Amino acid sequence: MAQLIESDEALFLSALAEAEAGNVNAQCDVGNHYMLGKGVAQDYGSAVEWYSKAAEQGDPRAQKCLGNMYANGMGVPQDYIEASKWFIKAAEGGNAKAGFNLGLMYQIGHGVEKNYDQALYWQQMAAEQGYAPAQFSLALLYLNGKGVAQDYTKAFEWFCRAAEQNHATAQYNAGLAYENGTGVAQDLAEACKWYKRAALNGDYLAQVSLAGMAHEGKGMSGDIKEAFIWYCVAAKNHPVSDDKAEIFSQIRSGMTSEEITRLEIYAGELDAMIKNRKPANPIGKLAVKKAAGKKD
């Protein structure tokens, strides 16, 4: 028997009935429906009302959501102090996302006094629960020696943990560490692997780095056409620096107009795939080589 899929409106009405009966989880769910406009007209004020009901009863998820509303001024005047209060409650209740947000507030000094020791504490709490943005943020603290002794090895380890969860900027940083031998033995092939994953996830710096690796034959066989493809993709998303633009121009000058047209079409298709957030795995080294005119 096929499973019945309820509409957003039906899910909202079901959650509302339970929320009005005092179910804390349902109260938070109703807040989410109002915040996102799923099954009901978007209404930040009503979202705050329902989040508050659950948050006052000690629900960490609702406390985190309420903190977000205050931090962003959604349904209430923006108030970082009030946001930090709710993030603290949620983080103390074990909510990883709240711990991450609280760590950022301590780093920036929003709603609380700037304190890198506290930033480290809360980012560590969230990172150890597997929250990728916190793992990346913790890696940066170790990389820059903020709130902790500078430690490239630990920075690399946390970049990798976030990278394994498909965090694009962490993937780029893992590649950079492998390329430069920072916190890990230099391994150009591994650098290319992580640059490729980050590039396919839309990271501009990884796209430029991967183009450079292909052009110079670092960690992979030299391939100016693959380099051209990645420079094209990068240029569609961000102005390319003068030195990279010069390399791009040199590569272009060594190709026929037919090759340029074919590779630009492919680069456009690759860029569209990346922007559509399709999985990073389907288009890999083989696909790029085929576009560059290589045999299987």
Within 10 Å of residue 154's Cβ, how many Cβ atoms?
Answer: 17
Per-residue pLDDT of the chain (296 residues; tens, 9 = 90+): 445 457 999 999 999 999 999 999 999 999 999 999 999 999 999 999 999 999 999 999 999 999 999 999 999 999 999 999 999 999 999 999 999 999 999 999 999 999 999 999 999 999 999 999 999 999 999 999 999 999 999 999 999 999 999 999 999 999 999 999 999 999 999 999 999 999 999 999 999 999 999 989 998 887 889 999 999 999 988 887 878 788 888 888 888 899 999 999 999 999 999 988 754 433 333 333 333 444 43
Two structure tokens written together for 45: 């004020």
CB of 181 closer than 8 Å to CB of 195: no
Closest CA to 241 of 278, 274, 273, 208: 208
Q: What is the pLDDT of residues 258-295, one digit of tens each?
A: 999 999 999 999 999 998 875 443 333 333 333 344 44
Instruction: Calculate the CA dihedral of residues 137, 141, 147, 151 and round it to 10 degrees.
Output: 140
Q: Which region, left, alpha or beta, applies to residue 70 given φ > 0 means left and ψ of -120 to 50 means alpha?
A: alpha
The rounded distance, in Å, linking the Cα atoms of 42 and 34 is: 5
Which pTM does this prediction carry?
0.85
Two structure tokens written together for 156: 């690399």
CB of 153 closer than 8 Å to CB of 175: no
CA 7 from centroid of its chain's CA atoms: 29
Two structure tokens written together for 75: 């349904």
Q: Where are the alpha helices (DSSP H) in 236-293?
A: 242-253, 257-275, 285-291
CATH number for region 169-296: 1.25.40
Domain map (residue ranges) of the chain: 169-296
What is the per-residue pLDDT for 239? 83
How many CA atoms are closer than 13 Å to the CA of 32, on its beta-carbon side? Answer: 15
**Burial profile 26-63: b = 16 or more Cβ within 10 angstroms, e = fewer:** bbbbbbbbbbeeebbeeebebbbebbbbbbeeebbbbb
